[in-house]
C-alpha cells in the first residue's frame, strides 16, 4: 500500500536509536524527507548514516527540554525542504525506580523533557500554517504505562498518562484545522532501553522469559515492527485517524 509519504517532510525526535530511529528508517524508505534529532551530535549523525541510501535527511543535536528546540527543528525542516507535514515525538524514558526511591529532582527533569518537552514540540508543529486538507500529523510515542502501571517505572507511570490526555485534548482543539494527533503505546519492544530494564532486575534472561510469558504473541516486538505502525499512523494513509492511543505490545495490555 502506498502511504503517501513520498515528498513529505517530518521531524522525528529521539531518533538516535530505538523506536525513534526505527520509525525514521521506515519513513525514509517510503520517500519522506526527515529532520531527525537527539541530544548527542555524534549519535544522531551516526543514525543518519543508517537511513536508506539516498534519503533526504538533516541530523540535528537538540534537547526537547530546551524551549528553543521546536522552533530550531521546524526552521531546519522548512529551510531544507520547504514544508512540514508533521512529527513523530519520541523521548527517552525517565529513570527507573520505585516511587519511594525517586527524587524530586528526577521528577522535575523528567517533566521538563518527557512531558513538557513533548507537549511543546507537538504544539509548535500544530501551530505551523497549513491547509486543512493537507493535514498536520503528530504522533507521540509514549508507553503502555498510559493504561497500566509498570513495576519499577514510577516516573513513567506518573507522567505518561497525563501526556496522553494532553494529546487527546490537542486532537480535539486542532482537529477543526486539520491537525491529527495520535499516541502510540509500545510494550516490550527489543530496544536497548528495554534490555537495560530487564538487566536491572539482576537476571535479564529470567525477566525476559517472564515478560514473554505474559504476552499473547509470546515474544518481544522488534523496533522495525513498531516503526511500521508509527509510519502508517503518521502518514496520509491514516488521514481519518486522530485522538486515539494505539498499543503496540503483542496483546500484552488487558484493557481495550
Mean pLDDT of 96-115: 94
Alpha-carbon torsion angle 173, 92, 251, 225, nearest 10: 100
- The mean-pLDDT minimum among 85-89, 129-133, 153-157, 213-217 falls in 129-133
**Residue 91 clears pLDDT 90, i.e. is over it:** no
Which band of pLDDT confidence, cut at 50, 70 and 90, is reported for residue 1?
confident
Please tell me the predicted confidence (pLDDT) of residue 4: 96
Residue pair 201/210 in contact by the 8 Å Cβ criterion? no
89: Cβ contacts below 8 Å, ≥ 6 apart: 13, 14, 64, 118, 121, 122, 138, 139, 140, 141
Cα–Cα distance measured from residue 150 to residue 148, given in angstroms and rounded to the nearest whole number: 6
Q: Give the domain ranges of the chain.
A: 9-244
Domain 9-244 is found in CATH 3.90.79.10: no
Q: What's the burial of 87, exposed, middle or buried (CB within 10 Å: 0-12/13-18/19+)?
A: buried
Q: Element (H or E) spanning 182, and its range?
A: strand 179-186
Which band of pLDDT confidence, cut at 50, 70 and 90, is reported for residue 16?
very high
**Residue 92 clears pLDDT 90, i.e. is over it:** no
The percentage of residues in the chain with a pLDDT greater than 70, rounded to a whole number, is 100
Cα–Cα distance measured from residue 223 to residue 190, given in angstroms and rounded to the nearest whole number: 7
Please tell me the predicted confidence (pLDDT) of residue 131: 84
C-alpha cell at 215: 504476552
HSE value, Cβ hemisphere, 13 Å, CA-based, for 26: 22
Q: What's the burial of 191, exposed, middle or buried (CB within 10 Å: 0-12/13-18/19+)?
A: buried
Residue of higher predicted confidence among 241 and 1: 241
Please tell me the predicted confidence (pLDDT) of residue 59: 98
Which band of pLDDT confidence, cut at 50, 70 and 90, is reported for residue 198?
very high
Q: What is the pLDDT of residues 162-192, one digit of tens each?
A: 999 999 999 999 999 999 999 999 999 999 9
Amino acid at each position: 500500500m502506498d502511504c503517501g509519504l513520498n515528498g513529505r517532510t517530518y521531524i522525528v525526535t529521539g531518533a538516535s536509536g530505538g523506536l525513534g530511529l526505527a520509525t525514521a528508517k521506515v519513513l525514509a524508505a517510503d520517500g519522506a524527507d526527515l529532520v531527525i534529532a537527539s541530544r548527542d551530535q555524534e549519535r544522531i549523525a551516526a543514525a543518519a548514516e543508517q537511513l536508506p541510501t539516498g534519503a533526504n535527511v538533516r541530523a540535528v543535536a537538540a534537547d526537547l527540554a530546551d524551549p528553543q528546540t521546536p522552533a530550531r527543528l521546524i526552521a531546519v525542516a522548512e529551510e531544507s525542504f520547504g514544508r512540514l507535514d508533521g512529527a513523530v515525538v519520541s523521548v527517552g524514558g525517565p529513570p527507573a525506580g520505585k516511587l519511594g526511591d525517586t527524587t524530586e529532582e528526577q521528577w522535575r527533569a523528567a517533566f521538563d523533557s518527557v512531558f513538557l518537552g513533548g507537549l511543546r514540540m507537538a504544539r509548535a508543529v500544530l501551530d505551523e500554517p497549513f491547509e486543512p486538507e493537507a493535514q498536520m500529523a503528530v504522533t507521540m510515542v509514549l508507553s503502555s504505562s498510559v493504561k497500566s502501571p509498570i513495576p519499577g517505572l514510577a516516573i513513567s507511570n506518573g507522567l505518561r498518562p497525563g501526556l496522553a490526555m494532553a494529546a487527546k485534548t490537542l486532537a480535539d482543539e486542532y482537529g477543526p484545522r486539520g491537525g491529527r494527533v495520535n499516541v502510540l503505546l509500545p510494550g516490550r519492544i527489543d530496544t536497548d532501553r528495554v534490555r537495560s530494564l530487564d538487566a536491572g532486575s539482576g537476571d535479564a534472561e529470567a525477566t525476559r522469559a517472564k515478560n514473554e510469558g505474559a504476552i499473547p504473541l509470546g515474544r518481544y516486538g522488534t523496533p522495525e515492527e513498531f516503526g511500521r505502525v508509527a509510519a502508517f499512523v503518521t502518514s496520509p494513509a491514516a488521514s481519518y485517524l486522530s485522538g486515539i492511543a494505539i498499543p503496540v505490545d503483542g496483546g500484552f495490555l488487558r484493557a481495550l
